[in-house]
């Protein structure tokens, strides 16, 4: 039996989405949907286009073909969509600012989720005691945790997480799974790129496997 979902049941929709660089395909065309309470896990070999896909969805790169929509509205390069939060390989902290100052800077621009505060978010990610530590003096894993604290504070419905498990210890990997689970439990969603089987948020999860980059023709000089 086929059931049709109401339009409001889908947060993110991609149809025939493809990205090419200098006419060479990086990924696609692909179709996917992410609804409230769901995670889309994007996997694939190195170079298969996982980060590129996230950057297209974030509006940082222009798609080459197809259509991608957030809440029914087309995503356009250069137009940050309210309601999305992006955590990249490099979390984008200001090295000279302390953990608390970085969070204040982010919420000053993006607004803050109600019912929480920066100290609570830092404690949640295991950074209690690091409030006054400059981001530039943190380890890679601590900077990743500070990025998670930022996500906890921002009023975003869709999290775009590029390799959120990288640089984290086992407790940190478990933390990522738990905060994703709590985030989507309230009807939010996340796109998560990963290589690892440890990506196991305790929520309804869809899988998207991007293709092998070896299918992309490589031109060699004669």
Q: Is 154 in the site for ligand ATP (CB under 6 A)?
A: no
Work out how close the CB of 119 gets to ligand ATP at its nearest, in angstroms, rounded to a whole number: 33
- Choose among 29, 36, 45: nearest CA to 5: 36
Q: Is 192 in the site for ligand ATP (CB under 6 A)?
A: no
Work out how close the CB of 78 gets to ligand ATP at its nearest, in angstroms, rounded to a whole number: 16
Query: Which burial class, exposed, middle or buried, applies to 47 when counting CB atoms under 10 A from its CB (0-12, 13-18, 19+)?
Result: middle
Give me the half-sphere count of Cα atoms (radius 13 Å) on the Cβ side of residue 69: 13
Helix segments in the chain, DSSP class H: 50-57, 99-110, 118-124, 140-153, 170-185
Helix and strand element counts for the chain (H, E) = 5, 9
Contact flags string 36-75 toward ligand ATP, x per CB under 6 A: --------x-xxxxxxx-----------------------
Number of residues that bind ligand ATP (CB under 6 A): 11
Give 109 or 215: the residue with its C-beta nearer to ligand ATP.
215
Near ligand ATP by CB under 6 A: residue from 21, 77, 90, 94: 21
Q: Is 138 in the site for ligand ATP (CB under 6 A)?
A: no
Give 124 or 144: the residue with its C-beta nearer to ligand ATP.
144
DSSP state of 187: T
Give the footprint of ligand ATP on this chain (CB under 6 A). 21, 26, 44, 46-52, 213
């Amino acid at each position: 039996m086929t059931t049709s979902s109401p339009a409001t049941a889908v947060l993110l929709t991609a149809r025939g989405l493809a990205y090419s660089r200098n006419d060479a395909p990086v990924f696609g065309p692909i179709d996917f949907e992410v609804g409230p309470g769901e995670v889309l896990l994007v996997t694939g070999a190195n170079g298969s286009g996982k980060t590129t896909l996230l950057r297209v969805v974030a509006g940082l790169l222009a798609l080459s073909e197809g259509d991608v929509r957030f809440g029914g509205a087309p995503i356009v390069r250069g137009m940050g969509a309210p309601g999305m939060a992006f955590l990249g390989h490099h979390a984008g902290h200001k090295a000279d600012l302390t953990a608390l100052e970085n969070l204040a800077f982010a919420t000053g621009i993006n607004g803050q989720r109600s019912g929480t505060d920066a100290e609570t978010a830092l404690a949640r990610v295991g950074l209690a005691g690091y409030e006054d530590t400059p981001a530039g003096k943190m380890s890679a894993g601590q900077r990743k945790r500070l990025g998670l604290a930022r996500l906890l504070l921002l009023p975003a419905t869709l999290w775009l997480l590029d390799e959120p498990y990288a640089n984290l210890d086992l407790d940190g990997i478990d933390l990522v799974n738990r905060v994703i689970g709590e985030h989507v439990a309230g009807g939010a969603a996340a796109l998560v790129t990963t290589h690892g089987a440890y990506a196991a948020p305790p929520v309804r999860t869809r899988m998207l496997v991007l293709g092998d980059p070896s299918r992309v023709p490589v031109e060699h000089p004669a």
